[in-house]
Structure 1
Amino acid sequence: MTENRTPPPRFAYKADKLKPLRAFCQTARLGSVSRAAEALYVSQPAITLQLQALERELGVKLFERVGRRLTPSREGQVLYELAKPLVEGLDGLDAVFRDKVQGLDAGELNVAAGSSTILYLLPGIVEAFRQRRSDVRLTLHNVTGAGGLDLLRTDAVDLAVGSMLDVPADLRYMPVYRFEPMLITPPDHPLAHKADLKLEDLSPYGLILPPKRLTTYRLVDLVFQQNRVPYTVALEVGGWEVIKQYVAMGLGISIVTAICLTDADRTRLAARSLAQYFPSRSYGVVIRKGKFLSPQARAFIELIQPDGGIEHSER
């Protein structure tokens, strides 16, 4: 007599266990199905179905709701401790593999940054990185704004270094340095040594600013408008070095970030803080949330934030 046995249930997710485990780990880490869906660029129902299938397969409840946050249950915590290194290991397999393989492409690091960051902030960091990791081929991509974000989101670069005011939900910004806003004029300009400098004192003089599409121009316009102080723009030109040169020639005054001022500039320019009116600008590291960082990327970040990401103020 043939015994009829009911076959065990088959779940479609078992064909790819990485997806539900990744969904589970992101939900456990972020405490929310919606935030996990955003991090993985999938729909909330897809995350919910994967979690439900995982609970049916294991026969346990994986999450408990504490307030508005989902917290792993006792069994869920056990699964998280087991699954987290597996998911991270598989997600980072390509990068680790390339790092281990011998050859021209065995060690690569791609960093996105704007011109001012490359010119003023990164030289010492790049020099230190080359001394420590001479085996890594480092490429600096000179991009700003949306271009840099596109490179991050498509994994064309490992990380970005620069300044951000509005941080998208899919990116993580770790500010490290903070620089004051500075008024720069020729050394013999009336504002160079004026006591009790006010925003209104800048009105009679034409400003030399970066193009309107850049954050600096928009920020200057916003501050003058909020304080109801009129101003004029004498020149729009890209690049802090060009702006400094034109100011030194007496073609106008400018409002710059202290990151671009060097010791050599002190002989040809007068610089005064405008921190009373303009916010300081932070510079730091930008990465895509959920991205596995290669050993060389982590080494580069450690050089930028040696104190664990604590902001450093500079003038």
Structure 2
Amino acid sequence: MELVYLHTFREVARYGSFTRAAEELGYAQPTVTAQMQKLEQSYGAPLFERFGRKLRLTQAGEALLPYARELIRLYGESKEVIKQQTTGPIAIGTIDTLAAFFLPPYLQAFCQQYPQVDLVLRTAGEAEIVQQIRDGYLDFGIIFDRPCTDPELITHVICEEELVIIMPPGHRFATATALTVHDLCGEPLVLTEEGCTYRGMLLEAIGEAGMTQRIACQFSNPEAIKQCVRCGLGVALLPLMAVKRELAEGALTAIPFQSDKPPFTIQLIYHKKKWLSPSMVTLVDTITRSQREES
């Protein structure tokens, strides 16, 4: 049995489709079908079943999937060990806000030391980043969330980051020293995208308070959110780092958001079984240095 069959199996399981897996892998669909037939013959059990147009894993397929992921991960790790790589790509997943307002100086410092390493930055929501690390598609994640307790991951808490309610200067909240969820009652909101952790926290708090709230608009891009707030469409919840320039320019006002929820922190995460090359160790050290310097 070839490892490539397990790789194809993982992709079919990921997308729930032979056609989509074939497109992602650059194969013709009959090639994917033939590989999966050979894999089923090798294990002596069907790995997929169809319900109408939906493709699902059988019980045997569900049992095989974690082994397939582990074998693929080990194969990749063995190649890295042999190469002792200080070249090649490092894939990092993060959210838009951290990509724009937190990571650049750390990546610049790393690239000065390892100019031959290609850093591949992919933006996504925290839940997707965690899953892609589990599946081996990302080397590292930089997330903004309440403390990560996933037993499969190693977590470095870098720092806490304050969440603030932003508004135009002259807004009725502009002279407040702090705001709670109850203060926002009746105020239109400009939200981040679904899946954003601090959006989820805010909506959870609104629901627990028994409030209903009008959502003016929602974006994944923090710059779009800030522009809408400046235009008076509503107020927004963002990390303080995302609005420091506008605060200095007097274009926006930011008031701390008080909540009884656990504080949000910037965290670097990776799989506990991930082998770290020398360049990866340096990257972790570079990004987590601020944590050690403050402690």
Same fold (TM over 0.5): yes
From 105, 110, 114, the counterpart of 2:95: 114
Structure-2 residue corresponding to 1:200: 182
Partners of 1:228 and 1:198 in 2: how far apart? 14
Seen in structure 2, the aligned counterparts of structure 1 residues 287 and 222 have a Cα distance that, compared at 3 Å, is same
Tell me how many residue pairs correspond in the alignment.
Answer: 222
Structure-1 residue corresponding to 2:241: 259
Aligned-residue offset at 1:144: 2.4
Structure-1 residue corresponding to 2:50: none
Structure-2 residue corresponding to 1:235: 217
Structure-2 residue corresponding to 1:287: 270
| Paired AA for residue 105 in structure 2 | G
Structure 2 residue runs of 5 or longer lacking an equivalent are: 1-65, 68-74
Q: Could you give the per-residue CA deviations for residues 21-40 of structure 1, whole angstroms, max 9, x where no partner exists?
A: xxxxxxxxxxxxxxxxxxxx
| Paired AA for residue 96 in structure 1 | V
Q: Could you give the per-residue CA deviations for residues 129-182 of structure 1, whole angstroms, max 9, x where no partner exists?
A: 111111212211223234323432233322111124454321222211211110
Instruction: Give the alignment of 1:42-121 within 5 angstroms.
Output: 92-100=77-85, 106-121=87-102
Seen in structure 2, the aligned counterparts of structure 1 residues 237 and 204 have a Cα distance that, compared at 3 Å, is same
> After alignment, is 143-152 or 269-278 more displaced?
143-152
Instruction: Give the alignment of 1:90-169 within 5 angstroms.
Output: 92-100=77-85, 106-165=87-146, 166-169=148-151
Partners of 1:190 and 1:311 in 2: how far apart? 39
Aligned-residue offset at 1:312: 6.0
Contact 1:199–1:229 (CA under 8 A) maintained in structure 2: no
> After alignment, is 268-277 or 137-146 more displaced?
137-146
Partners of 1:135 and 1:198 in 2: how far apart? 48
Contact 1:107–1:296 (CA under 8 A) maintained in structure 2: no
TM-score, normalization by structure 2 = 0.66
Partners of 1:197 and 1:305 in 2: how far apart? 31
Q: CA RMSD in A?
A: 2.9
Contact 1:206–1:231 (CA under 8 A) maintained in structure 2: yes
Q: Could you give the per-residue CA deviations for residues 217-242 of structure 1, whole angstroms, max 9, x where no partner exists?
A: 22111112333444322222222111
**2:288 is the counterpart of 1:305:** yes
Structure 1 residue runs of 5 or longer lacking an equivalent are: 1-40, 43-89
> After alignment, is 112-121 or 165-174 more displaced?
165-174
Q: Could you give the per-residue CA deviations for residues 192-233 of structure 1, whole angstroms, max 9, x where no partner exists?
A: 113664543321321111233332222111112333444322
Partners of 1:297 and 1:274 in 2: how far apart? 36
Q: Percent of pairs identical after alignment?
A: 21
Seen in structure 2, the aligned counterparts of structure 1 residues 311 and 259 have a Cα distance that, compared at 3 Å, is farther
| Paired AA for residue 95 in structure 1 | E
TM-score, normalization by structure 1 = 0.62
Structure of larger gyration radius: 1
Contact 2:162–2:240 (CA under 8 A) maintained in structure 1: yes
Partners of 2:189 and 2:262 in 1: how far apart? 18
| Paired AA for residue 255 in structure 2 | R
From 175, 197, 206, the counterpart of 1:224: 206
Q: Could you give the per-residue CA deviations for residues 52-82 of structure 1, whole angstroms, max 9, x where no partner exists?
A: xxxxxxxxxxxxxxxxxxxxxxxxxxxxxxx
